[in-house]
Protein backbone atom coordinates (compact mmCIF):
# COMPACT_ATOMS: atom_id res chain seq x y z
CA UNK A 1 0.00 0.00 0.00
CA UNK A 2 2.63 2.48 1.10
CA UNK A 3 6.09 2.39 -0.49
CA UNK A 4 8.72 4.93 0.28
CA UNK A 5 10.94 6.21 -2.50
CA UNK A 6 13.93 4.38 -1.04
CA UNK A 7 12.06 1.08 -0.88
CA UNK A 8 10.92 1.51 -4.43
CA UNK A 9 14.41 2.22 -5.71
CA UNK A 10 15.76 -0.77 -3.75
CA UNK A 11 13.07 -3.03 -5.18
CA UNK A 12 13.87 -1.95 -8.71
CA UNK A 13 17.61 -2.32 -8.21
CA UNK A 14 17.37 -5.71 -6.61
CA UNK A 15 14.58 -6.65 -8.98
CA UNK A 16 12.62 -8.10 -6.12
CA UNK A 17 8.97 -8.07 -7.00
CA UNK A 18 6.91 -6.68 -4.20
CA UNK A 19 3.94 -9.03 -3.92
CA UNK A 20 1.68 -6.40 -2.41
CA UNK A 21 2.41 -3.99 -5.20
CA UNK A 22 1.67 -6.57 -7.87
CA UNK A 23 -1.42 -8.05 -6.29
CA UNK A 24 -3.52 -5.88 -7.64
CA UNK A 25 -6.21 -3.66 -7.67
CA UNK A 26 -4.22 -1.75 -10.30
CA UNK A 27 -3.90 -4.77 -12.58
CA UNK A 28 -7.59 -5.42 -12.39
CA UNK A 29 -8.16 -1.76 -13.19
CA UNK A 30 -5.78 -2.06 -16.14
CA UNK A 31 -7.68 -5.04 -17.46
CA UNK A 32 -10.94 -3.19 -17.46
CA UNK A 33 -9.43 0.11 -18.65
CA UNK A 34 -7.35 -1.11 -21.61
CA UNK A 35 -10.21 -1.57 -24.00
CA UNK A 36 -12.00 1.64 -23.01
CA UNK A 37 -8.81 3.71 -23.12
CA UNK A 38 -7.82 2.53 -26.59
CA UNK A 39 -11.38 2.86 -27.88
CA UNK A 40 -11.34 6.44 -26.67
CA UNK A 41 -7.97 7.12 -28.32
CA UNK A 42 -9.17 5.65 -31.61
CA UNK A 43 -12.40 7.66 -31.51
CA UNK A 44 -10.79 10.86 -30.30
CA UNK A 45 -8.17 11.06 -32.96
CA UNK A 46 -9.15 8.59 -35.62
CA UNK A 47 -7.32 10.60 -38.28
CA UNK A 48 -4.05 10.08 -36.44
CA UNK A 49 -4.58 6.35 -36.21
CA UNK A 50 -5.80 5.85 -39.75
CA UNK A 51 -3.74 8.40 -41.62
CA UNK A 52 -2.38 7.17 -44.91
CA UNK A 53 0.78 9.22 -44.66
CA UNK A 54 2.14 6.81 -42.08
CA UNK A 55 3.14 4.63 -45.04
CA UNK A 56 6.76 5.66 -44.60
CA UNK A 57 6.92 4.61 -40.96
CA UNK A 58 5.06 1.38 -41.73
CA UNK A 59 7.50 0.51 -44.51
CA UNK A 60 10.43 1.18 -42.25
CA UNK A 61 8.90 -0.93 -39.45
CA UNK A 62 8.29 -3.74 -41.93
CA UNK A 63 11.95 -3.62 -42.95
CA UNK A 64 12.97 -3.90 -39.29
CA UNK A 65 10.55 -6.77 -38.82
CA UNK A 66 11.98 -8.69 -41.76
CA UNK A 67 15.61 -7.72 -41.26
CA UNK A 68 17.78 -10.83 -41.29
CA UNK A 69 15.01 -13.39 -41.05
CA UNK A 70 13.85 -15.81 -43.66
CA UNK A 71 10.11 -16.33 -43.63
CA UNK A 72 8.34 -17.82 -46.63
CA UNK A 73 5.64 -15.80 -48.35
CA UNK A 74 3.24 -18.69 -47.62
CA UNK A 75 3.76 -18.10 -43.89
CA UNK A 76 0.90 -17.67 -41.45
CA UNK A 77 1.54 -14.44 -39.57
CA UNK A 78 0.05 -12.97 -36.40
CA UNK A 79 0.27 -9.31 -35.41
CA UNK A 80 -0.58 -8.46 -31.79
CA UNK A 81 -2.12 -5.00 -31.34
CA UNK A 82 -2.90 -4.14 -34.96
CA UNK A 83 -4.19 -0.64 -34.21
CA UNK A 84 -5.57 0.86 -37.39
CA UNK A 85 -3.74 -1.73 -39.50
CA UNK A 86 -0.74 0.48 -40.30
CA UNK A 87 1.65 -2.45 -40.59
CA UNK A 88 -0.98 -5.13 -41.07
CA UNK A 89 -1.49 -3.78 -44.57
CA UNK A 90 2.21 -4.14 -45.32
CA UNK A 91 2.12 -7.66 -43.93
CA UNK A 92 -0.92 -8.48 -46.06
CA UNK A 93 0.96 -7.37 -49.17
CA UNK A 94 3.86 -9.56 -48.21
CA UNK A 95 2.40 -12.77 -46.74
CA UNK A 96 -0.35 -15.13 -47.81
CA UNK A 97 -2.23 -15.38 -44.53
CA UNK A 98 -2.27 -12.64 -41.91
CA UNK A 99 -4.10 -12.59 -38.59
CA UNK A 100 -4.32 -9.58 -36.30
CA UNK A 101 -5.63 -9.20 -32.79
CA UNK A 102 -6.43 -6.10 -30.77
CA UNK A 103 -8.14 -5.25 -27.51
CA UNK A 104 -10.02 -2.26 -28.95
CA UNK A 105 -13.13 -2.59 -31.11
CA UNK A 106 -12.65 0.96 -32.35
CA UNK A 107 -9.09 0.26 -33.53
CA UNK A 108 -10.34 -2.93 -35.18
CA UNK A 109 -13.01 -0.92 -36.98
CA UNK A 110 -10.31 1.40 -38.39
CA UNK A 111 -8.16 -1.58 -39.37
CA UNK A 112 -11.01 -3.37 -41.14
CA UNK A 113 -11.77 -0.19 -43.03
CA UNK A 114 -8.14 0.16 -44.14
CA UNK A 115 -7.88 -3.50 -45.06
CA UNK A 116 -11.24 -3.88 -46.77
CA UNK A 117 -9.69 -4.88 -50.11
CA UNK A 118 -7.62 -7.69 -48.66
CA UNK A 119 -8.97 -11.22 -48.58
CA UNK A 120 -5.98 -12.72 -46.77
CA UNK A 121 -6.40 -10.82 -43.48
CA UNK A 122 -8.51 -11.66 -40.46
CA UNK A 123 -8.72 -9.26 -37.51
CA UNK A 124 -9.91 -10.63 -34.16
CA UNK A 125 -10.96 -9.04 -30.92
CA UNK A 126 -8.85 -10.21 -27.97
CA UNK A 127 -9.25 -9.78 -24.23
CA UNK A 128 -5.92 -7.92 -23.95
CA UNK A 129 -4.28 -10.70 -21.99
CA UNK A 130 -4.04 -13.87 -24.03
CA UNK A 131 -4.31 -15.46 -27.48
CA UNK A 132 -6.75 -18.17 -26.44
CA UNK A 133 -8.78 -17.78 -29.63
CA UNK A 134 -5.87 -19.35 -31.56
CA UNK A 135 -4.80 -23.01 -31.41
CA UNK A 136 -1.32 -24.25 -30.53
CA UNK A 137 1.42 -24.14 -33.16
CA UNK A 138 -0.48 -22.08 -35.74
CA UNK A 139 1.90 -19.26 -36.70
CA UNK A 140 5.21 -19.07 -38.54
CA UNK A 141 5.79 -15.46 -37.53
CA UNK A 142 4.43 -13.48 -34.58
CA UNK A 143 4.99 -9.76 -34.60
CA UNK A 144 4.15 -6.74 -32.49
CA UNK A 145 5.17 -3.10 -32.46
CA UNK A 146 4.22 -0.14 -30.24
CA UNK A 147 2.11 -2.35 -28.01
CA UNK A 148 4.01 -4.19 -25.27
CA UNK A 149 5.47 -1.01 -23.78
CA UNK A 150 1.95 0.13 -22.96
CA UNK A 151 1.18 -3.00 -20.95
CA UNK A 152 1.82 -3.72 -17.28
CA UNK A 153 4.73 -6.13 -17.00
CA UNK A 154 2.57 -9.01 -15.94
CA UNK A 155 0.45 -8.75 -19.09
CA UNK A 156 3.56 -8.62 -21.26
CA UNK A 157 4.89 -11.76 -19.54
CA UNK A 158 1.53 -13.48 -20.06
CA UNK A 159 1.64 -12.68 -23.77
CA UNK A 160 5.08 -14.28 -24.03
CA UNK A 161 3.67 -17.59 -22.78
CA UNK A 162 0.87 -17.31 -25.27
CA UNK A 163 3.13 -16.39 -28.17
CA UNK A 164 5.24 -19.43 -27.38
CA UNK A 165 2.15 -21.62 -27.39
CA UNK A 166 0.75 -20.42 -30.73
CA UNK A 167 4.06 -20.51 -32.61
CA UNK A 168 5.15 -23.37 -34.83
CA UNK A 169 8.37 -25.02 -33.64
CA UNK A 170 10.14 -23.43 -36.59
CA UNK A 171 8.54 -20.06 -35.96
CA UNK A 172 9.99 -16.63 -35.32
CA UNK A 173 8.84 -13.98 -32.87
CA UNK A 174 9.86 -10.37 -33.38
CA UNK A 175 8.68 -7.33 -31.47
CA UNK A 176 9.59 -3.72 -30.76
CA UNK A 177 9.85 -2.39 -27.23
CA UNK A 178 11.40 0.44 -25.20
CA UNK A 179 14.95 -0.07 -24.07
CA UNK A 180 15.97 0.92 -20.55
CA UNK A 181 19.36 2.34 -21.27
CA UNK A 182 22.44 2.29 -19.04
CA UNK A 183 22.66 6.07 -18.89
CA UNK A 184 19.14 6.19 -17.52
CA UNK A 185 20.16 4.06 -14.56
CA UNK A 186 22.45 6.74 -13.21
CA UNK A 187 19.94 9.58 -13.44
CA UNK A 188 18.67 10.12 -9.92
CA UNK A 189 15.22 8.69 -9.54
CA UNK A 190 14.26 11.59 -7.34
CA UNK A 191 14.80 13.97 -10.24
CA UNK A 192 12.39 12.06 -12.42
CA UNK A 193 9.80 11.45 -9.77
CA UNK A 194 7.36 13.98 -11.03
CA UNK A 195 8.00 13.60 -14.71
CA UNK A 196 5.43 10.93 -15.32
CA UNK A 197 5.97 10.70 -19.05
CA UNK A 198 9.61 9.76 -18.51
CA UNK A 199 9.03 7.25 -15.77
CA UNK A 200 8.66 4.05 -17.70
CA UNK A 201 11.18 5.00 -20.28
CA UNK A 202 13.97 5.62 -17.84
CA UNK A 203 13.25 4.30 -14.44
CA UNK A 204 10.26 3.08 -12.49
CA UNK A 205 7.19 1.73 -14.23
CA UNK A 206 4.12 3.90 -14.26
CA UNK A 207 1.16 2.53 -12.27
CA UNK A 208 -0.25 -0.70 -13.70
CA UNK A 209 -3.51 0.94 -14.63
CA UNK A 210 -1.73 3.41 -16.90
CA UNK A 211 -2.30 2.23 -20.49
CA UNK A 212 -0.17 4.86 -22.18
CA UNK A 213 3.18 5.64 -20.55
CA UNK A 214 5.88 3.33 -21.84
CA UNK A 215 7.49 0.66 -19.70
CA UNK A 216 11.07 -0.10 -20.61
CA UNK A 217 13.31 -3.14 -20.29
CA UNK A 218 17.05 -3.54 -20.25
CA UNK A 219 18.54 -5.97 -22.74
CA UNK A 220 19.72 -8.24 -19.91
CA UNK A 221 16.26 -8.28 -18.44
CA UNK A 222 14.66 -9.10 -21.79
CA UNK A 223 17.13 -11.91 -22.42
CA UNK A 224 16.40 -13.40 -19.00
CA UNK A 225 12.66 -13.11 -19.43
CA UNK A 226 12.64 -14.59 -22.92
CA UNK A 227 14.87 -17.50 -21.91
CA UNK A 228 12.62 -18.15 -18.93
CA UNK A 229 9.63 -18.18 -21.26
CA UNK A 230 11.24 -20.77 -23.53
CA UNK A 231 12.77 -18.73 -26.34
CA UNK A 232 16.26 -19.09 -27.75
CA UNK A 233 18.39 -17.48 -30.48
CA UNK A 234 17.46 -14.20 -28.84
CA UNK A 235 18.70 -11.19 -30.75
CA UNK A 236 18.26 -7.46 -30.22
CA UNK A 237 18.98 -4.44 -32.30
CA UNK A 238 18.37 -0.76 -31.81
CA UNK A 239 18.19 0.78 -35.25
CA UNK A 240 18.36 4.46 -34.38
CA UNK A 241 19.68 4.78 -30.83
CA UNK A 242 16.28 6.06 -29.71
CA UNK A 243 15.13 4.08 -26.66
CA UNK A 244 11.86 3.18 -28.33
CA UNK A 245 13.50 1.52 -31.29
CA UNK A 246 14.68 -1.74 -29.76
CA UNK A 247 13.68 -4.74 -31.85
CA UNK A 248 13.85 -8.16 -30.26
CA UNK A 249 13.53 -11.59 -31.78
CA UNK A 250 13.53 -15.15 -30.58
CA UNK A 251 12.51 -18.66 -31.53
CA UNK A 252 10.69 -21.23 -29.42
CA UNK A 253 13.08 -23.64 -27.75
CA UNK A 254 12.54 -26.94 -29.56
CA UNK A 255 12.24 -29.32 -26.63
CA UNK A 256 9.46 -27.49 -24.86
CA UNK A 257 7.35 -26.62 -27.86
CA UNK A 258 3.75 -27.76 -27.32
C1 LIG B 1 0.14 2.61 -30.31
S2 LIG B 1 -1.02 1.54 -31.07
C3 LIG B 1 0.03 0.64 -32.21
C4 LIG B 1 -0.74 0.01 -33.33
C5 LIG B 1 0.10 -0.75 -34.34
N6 LIG B 1 0.81 -1.84 -33.73
C7 LIG B 1 1.07 0.16 -35.05
O8 LIG B 1 2.29 0.04 -34.82
O9 LIG B 1 0.63 0.99 -35.83
C10 LIG B 1 -1.27 0.32 -29.78
C11 LIG B 1 -2.33 -0.70 -30.15
O12 LIG B 1 -2.23 -1.79 -29.22
C13 LIG B 1 -3.53 -2.15 -28.81
N14 LIG B 1 -3.43 -2.76 -27.48
C15 LIG B 1 -3.20 -2.12 -26.32
N16 LIG B 1 -3.15 -3.00 -25.31
C17 LIG B 1 -3.36 -4.23 -25.87
C18 LIG B 1 -3.45 -5.54 -25.35
N19 LIG B 1 -3.30 -5.78 -24.05
N20 LIG B 1 -3.66 -6.57 -26.20
C21 LIG B 1 -3.83 -6.33 -27.53
N22 LIG B 1 -3.78 -5.10 -28.08
C23 LIG B 1 -3.54 -4.06 -27.26
C24 LIG B 1 -4.31 -0.85 -28.83
O25 LIG B 1 -5.70 -1.06 -28.89
C26 LIG B 1 -3.75 -0.19 -30.05
O27 LIG B 1 -4.46 -0.56 -31.19
Q: If you measure from the C-alpha of residue 137 to the centroid of ligand 1, how many angstroms do you get, rounded to a whole number?
A: 23
Q: How far is the CA of 174 from the centre of ligand 1 (A)?
A: 15
Question: Ligand 1 mean position to 131 CA, how many Å?
Answer: 14
What per-residue confidence (pLDDT) applies to 60? 85
Q: What is the pLDDT of residue 141?
A: 97
Per-residue pLDDT of the chain (258 residues; tens, 9 = 90+): 445 555 555 544 444 445 444 446 767 777 779 999 999 999 987 666 656 456 778 788 888 899 988 889 999 999 999 999 999 999 999 999 999 999 999 999 999 999 999 999 999 999 999 999 999 999 999 999 999 999 999 899 999 999 999 999 999 999 999 888 765 554 544 445 445 455 555 556 778 888 988 888 999 999 999 999 999 999 999 988 777 889 999 999 876 545
Nearest protein Cα to ligand 1, atom 20: 128
3-state secondary structure of 35: helix
Residue nearest to atom 10 of ligand 1 (CA): 147
Query: Nearest C-alpha to atom 18 of ligand 1 is from which residue?
Result: 128
How far is it, in rounded angstroms, from Cα 50 to Cα 48? Answer: 6
**How far, in Å, from the CA of 146 to the mean position of ligand 1?**
7
**Ligand 1: centre distance to CA 255 (Å):** 31
Other C-beta atoms within 10 Å of 10: how many? Answer: 13
Question: What phi and psi, each to the nearest 5 degrees, are found at residue 78?
Answer: -120, 130
The rounded Å distance from CA 98 to ligand 1 centre is 16
Give the Å distance between the CA of 33 and the centre of ligand 1.
13
Going by alpha carbons, the residue nearest to atom 13 of ligand 1 is: 81
H/E stretch holding 174: strand 167-179
Alpha helices in the chain (DSSP H): 5-14, 19-22, 25-44, 46-50, 55-66, 86-94, 105-114, 153-166, 182-185, 189-192, 196-202, 219-228
Using CB distances shorter than 6 Å, the residues near ligand 1 are: 34, 38, 80-83, 86-87, 102-104, 107, 126, 128, 145-147, 150-151, 155
Residue of 45, 50, 83 to mutate, ligand 1, most atoms within 8 A of C-beta: 83
Identify the residue whose C-alpha is closest to ligand 1 atom 1. Answer: 146
Query: Would you state the pLDDT for residue 210?
Result: 86
pTM: 0.84
Helix, strand and coil in the chain, % to nearest 5: 45, 20, 35
Q: What is the pLDDT of residue 244?
A: 83
Specify the residue with its C-alpha closest to ligand 1, atom 27: 83
What was the pLDDT predicted at 223? 97
- What's the confidence (pLDDT) of residue 189? 47
Ligand 1 atom 2 nearest Cα: 83
* Distance between first and last Cα of the chain: 39
Atom number of ligand 1 nearest to Cα 83: 27
Write the CATH number of the domain with boundaries 21-256. 3.40.50.150
**Domain boundaries along the sequence of the chain:** 21-256
Closest C-alpha to 81, from 66, 61, 63, 95: 61
Amino acid sequence: MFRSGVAKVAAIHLEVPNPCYHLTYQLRQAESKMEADWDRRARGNSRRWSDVDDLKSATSDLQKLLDGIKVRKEATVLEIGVGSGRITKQLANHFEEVYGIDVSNEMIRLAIERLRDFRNVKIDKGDGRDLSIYPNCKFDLVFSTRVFQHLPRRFFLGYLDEVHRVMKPTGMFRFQIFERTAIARIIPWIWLRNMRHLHGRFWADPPDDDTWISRSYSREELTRILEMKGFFEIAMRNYSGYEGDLWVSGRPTPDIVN
